Amino acid sequence: MARGKVAQFKLKLKKIYTRITRNRLTATSRINCSPIFDSRDKIIVENSPDADAQLRGETHNSTVNRSKSSLMPKGNPRLYLKSYLKQMEALDLSTCPNPVQACYYIPPSISRTTDEKRLPSSMIHDSVPHVLTVFITRILLTAWSIYSLWRTEWQQAVFQQAIEAPGTSCSAAMFGVYFSTRILYEIPDIILNCSALGISAFLSWTLLRTYNAEVFTCVGAPKAITKLYKYFLALQVCLQLEAFVLITAAALWVDQLFNTYIQQISAHTTVYEVLVISYAVALGPWLLAAWFGIRSEKRLLTLAFIFVGSLFILGSSLMFISQVYRWTFYAWPCLGCFITASLVLLVASVVLGILCYTNFGKGLAQYLYVEASLSSSNFAPEVFDRDVESTYIVNFDDKKLKAKGLQADFTTHYLPTLGSIPSRDSASSE
Nearest-angstrom CA–CA distance, 100 and 104: 6
373 and 392 belong to one structural domain: no
pLDDT at 114: 38
Q: Tell me what the pLDDT averaged over the chain comes to.
A: 69
Nearest-angstrom CA–CA distance, 360 and 347: 20
Give residue 313's pLDDT band: very low, low, confident or very high (50, 70, 90).
Answer: very high
325 and 414 belong to one structural domain: no
pLDDT tens digits along 94-130? 666 555 555 544 444 443 433 344 444 444 445 676 7
Domain assignment of residue 161, yes or no: yes
pLDDT at 31: 41
145 and 26 belong to one structural domain: no
80 and 211 belong to one structural domain: yes
Q: Which of 61-70, 136-145, 339-348 has the highest mean pLDDT?
A: 339-348
Give residue 73's pLDDT band: very low, low, confident or very high (50, 70, 90).
Answer: very low
Residue 27's identity, in one-letter code, is A
Q: How many domains does the chain have?
A: 4
51 and 82 belong to one structural domain: no
Phi-psi region of 176 (alpha: psi -120 to 50; beta: other; left: phi over 0): left
For the chain, how are helix, strand and coil distributed in percent, rounded to 5? 70, 0, 25
What average pLDDT score do residues 18-38 get? 41
Q: Which secondary-structure segment (H or E) carries 178?
A: helix 178-215
Domain assignment of residue 234, yes or no: no
Of 203, 194, 101, give the one whose Cα is nearest residue 139: 194
Domain assignment of residue 33, yes or no: yes
- E strands present in 257-322: none
pLDDT at 392: 44
198 and 83 belong to one structural domain: yes
What average pLDDT score do residues 72-87 get? 62
Q: Which residue has the higher pLDDT, 263 or 179?
A: 179
Q: Which residue has the higher pLDDT, 61 or 37?
A: 61
Q: State how far the alpha carbon of 291 is from the alpha carbons of 233, 275, 309, 345, in Å.
A: 10, 24, 13, 15
Contact in structure between 335 and 369 (CB atoms under 8 Å): no
Domain assignment of residue 246, yes or no: no
pLDDT at 314: 92
* Alpha carbon distance, N-terminus to C-terminus of the chain: 127
Domain assignment of residue 231, yes or no: no
3-state secondary structure at position 138: helix
pLDDT at 3: 63
3-state secondary structure at position 60: coil
What average pLDDT score do residues 16-43 get? 42
Q: Which residues pair with 35 in a beta bridge?
A: 46
Domain assignment of residue 236, yes or no: no
Q: Which residue has the higher pLDDT, 427 or 330?
A: 330
43 and 132 belong to one structural domain: no
What average pLDDT score do residues 271-287 get? 88
8-state DSSP, 404: T
8-state DSSP, 420: P
275 and 367 belong to one structural domain: yes
What average pLDDT score do residues 23-35 get? 40
What average pLDDT score do residues 147-165 get? 81
Considering 218, 250, 280, which residue would you say is the last residue of a domain? 218
pLDDT at 180: 85
Give residue 400's pLDDT band: very low, low, confident or very high (50, 70, 90).
Answer: low
Domain assignment of residue 67, yes or no: no
**pLDDT at residue 41 is higher than 70:** no
3-state secondary structure at position 380: strand
23 and 119 belong to one structural domain: no
Q: Which residue has the higher pLDDT, 78 or 337?
A: 337
Q: Domain range for residue 18?
A: 2-59
7 and 105 belong to one structural domain: no
43 and 91 belong to one structural domain: no
Q: State how far the alpha carbon of 375 is from the alpha carbons of 50, 96, 126, 230, 235, in Å.
A: 78, 35, 14, 19, 22
pLDDT tens digits along 240-250? 788 888 888 88
Give residue 404's pLDDT band: very low, low, confident or very high (50, 70, 90).
Answer: low
Give residue 395's pLDDT band: very low, low, confident or very high (50, 70, 90).
Answer: very low
Contact in structure between 294 and 353 (CB atoms under 8 Å): yes
Q: Which residue has the higher pLDDT, 416 or 170?
A: 170
Give residue 66's pLDDT band: very low, low, confident or very high (50, 70, 90).
Answer: very low
79 and 39 belong to one structural domain: no
- E strands present in 330-386: none
Domain assignment of residue 229, yes or no: no
375 HSE (CA, 13 A, CB side): 14
Considering 59, 88, 104, which residue would you say is the last residue of a domain? 59
DSSP line for 1-45: -HHHHHHHHHHHHHHHHHHHHHSPPPTTT-----EEE-TTS-EEE
